[in-house]
Structure 1
């Protein structure tokens, strides 16, 4: 168990219909601010998806408030003890989905009615190495590159919304047991539902995701760190047989540090060691380092507000999702 620290960070989601969700988002933002919380919450007609951070007292009050609402009574909170708040501000926004997938037809994909079999971390641990099992990482490339389960299969996707269009690449595994996993479980709810819809018959998902797996069974065979969508960027999971698998894009040295390129018109999300970071002023290349709009680099590679010019390029970028 972690030592008690000054703050906590809560990771959670709940698929449960919300009437007047846009109005709910505004009211919920005011409530979070009244508790002194910071974080990011997405509200949609289909439910909630959030990461919030604050004092233990504020976090308890928030969890009690959520659990008191019968719509969210079964919400599973993953709690991390942290030295400082994991965000700078509090955002609560209404969107079409609580995780962007493009799968918005409830007649086809509805996590409240049909998903893969939920596996507790201990059950996942016991099943993952069986011969008839395929472990499927449903996260994005940049998340997978920082850390993943040993022998995990993944699709080459920049964002979860690309998952549906690449699902046919998994057809060769239709006779296998598919064990899906993601950071906290939310993506697996829709990914496993889609797999079932596409004719996969033996579909499972890691309940609570990588974070819960680390807390309950020590994170065995999770290689590297787990990418998280807040200021921490990546966190340790494996206390049994830990390893570092990610390398600096520029020199190849092992590193777990991820940054955004200091050139706002690139803004690529990539791994870079401290030495290369200072050498290149937080840029992915010398070309970006010479860009006239390059942002000042302070060693973190974290930029709270990204100019509107970003996204104008047609090249593939890996944005830092926590800074929206």
Structure 2
């Protein structure tokens, strides 16, 4: 397979004075480079995942690193034979990952960053708890061996779980992890604020751990937010930990239910995928709004009034990325 495209995953907590003006200019910059994907812009920084030809992604990364605000971005780069997205969305939001913890600035205080090798060396110690801060549908298809997982549908529910964690693990060293590192920035900071003393985070998340440590002891697949849905990260001792939602056979094939009203994220084997026409239940299969199933179980998000060419007529000839 000729892998002509790069897939970038990144974030950066850094002040952006005028998020809407930045959004327009940055969107145009991505259009110039033929990049597709999703970027969230806020006063606290950027959160992005993009795909494009390798040379275009290289130009994007170089331009971002040339800007002092984004010089510290640690891009996680994977490769593919095609785009991982069908559209480009650049949006402004209150936070770059929805947590409700607007008062927390990870640049002021957060958990100690561990390189993948350091995380690997610490994770099995008796005085350590490895904490998965992702949502339940993410860790259902893959998580670190012996990790503590949380019953949450969205990261914004994380603060509600901290008292329960404190009762069980306050005297332990807490090693947090997520897909690319962004959730851990605020999760680990909040744990420190709530009285935990030894808090760490896996720098670069599961993706970087797979690249630099072979993904050892990460069981299952890593859920990702593009049309790949879930990816392999463990090349050392891979396992499958999830089972088909329909027939309960071993399966790590993640599917969004074809019924958009449900949209449940669950493992469904290929056989059941076709038999259920992409639905997670008979009720969803018969729902009048059910989407056509193409065998992937991945559906592009609705535009919801978003105008991808907003600001195009005001395009500047220079510094369109800043």
Q: What's 2:319 paired with?
A: none
For residues 249-303 of structure 1, the C-alpha deviation after alignment (integer angstroms, 9 at most, x for no partner) is 0101111211121122222121101111111111111111122222221111222
Q: What's 2:228 paired with?
A: 232
1:263 aligned to 235, 259, 266, which one?
259
1:35 aligned to 13, 33, 36, which one?
33
Q: What's 1:301 paired with?
A: 297
1:78 aligned to 51, 71, 76, which one?
76
Matched, 1:194 2:184: no
C-alpha distance in 2 between matches for 1:23 and 1:158: 32
Q: 1:29-68, aligned counterparts within 5 Å?
A: 29-68=27-66
Contact persistence 1:264–1:306 (CA under 8 A): no
C-alpha distance in 2 between matches for 1:30 and 1:306: 21
Q: What's 1:69 paired with?
A: 67
Comparing 3-12 and 224-233, the one that deviates more: 3-12
Aligned to 2:247, the other structure's residue is in SS state: coil
Aligned to 1:232, the other structure's residue is in SS state: coil
- The offset of 1:116, in angstroms, is 0.4
1:90 aligned to 75, 88, 91, which one?
88
Q: What's 1:278 paired with?
A: 274
Runs of 4+ in structure 1 over 4 Å off = 305-308
Aligned to 1:253, the other structure's residue is in SS state: coil
Contact persistence 2:133–2:150 (CA under 8 A): yes
Ranked by relative contact order (alpha carbons within 8 Å, sequence separation 6 or more), the top structure is: 2
C-alpha distance in 1 between matches for 2:303 and 2:279: 16
Q: 1:1-324, aligned counterparts within 5 Å?
A: 5-105=3-103, 109-171=104-166, 172-306=168-302
Q: How many residues align?
A: 303
For residues 191-227 of structure 1, the C-alpha deviation after alignment (integer angstroms, 9 at most, x for no partner) is 0000000000000000000000110111110000101
C-alpha distance in 2 between matches for 1:122 and 1:179: 13
C-alpha distance in 2 between matches for 1:264 and 1:155: 25
Q: What's 2:313 paired with?
A: none
- The offset of 1:130, in angstroms, is 0.5
Q: TM-score, normalised by structure 1?
A: 0.91
Contact persistence 2:229–2:298 (CA under 8 A): no
C-alpha distance in 1 between matches for 2:2 and 2:207: 18
Contact persistence 1:244–1:254 (CA under 8 A): yes
Residue 133 to residue 32, structure 1, CA distance change in 2 (3 Å): same
- Return 5+ residue gaps in structure 1 as ranges: 309-324
Aligned residues: CA RMSD: 1.3
